[in-house]
Amino acid sequence: MKKILLLSVIFISMTLNASTFQISKDACTNGQARGCTILGLIYVVGKEIKRDFAKGIKYLNEGCDLGDMEGCQMLGIMYANGTGVKKDLSISREYFDKLSDFIKNKKSNKERDD
């Protein structure tokens, strides 16, 4: 799981700039799940802005609640590893369960549409 978190952090670090931050912030403000997740990752990485795990978790959680699977996955990993939060496997499990539900629903919708 640490590898997944590291790869996401590396990806965000490579693509992050001031406009990415503003675009993500605007998207999140407009209720776009992916924008919230990216904004959360920006705060967790702390490139171009000061690292702020509390804000990162807030926006990752918002992205997860709005249906972005990566937001749920990142929170599950962070709680499992204790990255920026107190390690808590029960909270981690809740996020992974939510991720699993998203995947099942997506698969079910795809099969229904086919």
Please report where in the chains the tokens 């249906």 appear, as a residue: 67
Going from the first residue of the chain to its last (114 residues), give the mean pLDDT of each consecutive group of 10, the final group possibly shorter. Answer: 54 64 92 94 86 96 94 94 94 94 75 58
- Cα(93)–Cα(82) distance, integer angstroms: 13
Domains of the chain: 2-109 (1.25.40.10)
pLDDT at residue 17, rounded to an integer:
65
Whether 80 and 1 have beta carbons less than 8 Å apart is answered as yes
Give residue 6's identity as a one-letter amino acid code.
L
pTM: 0.80
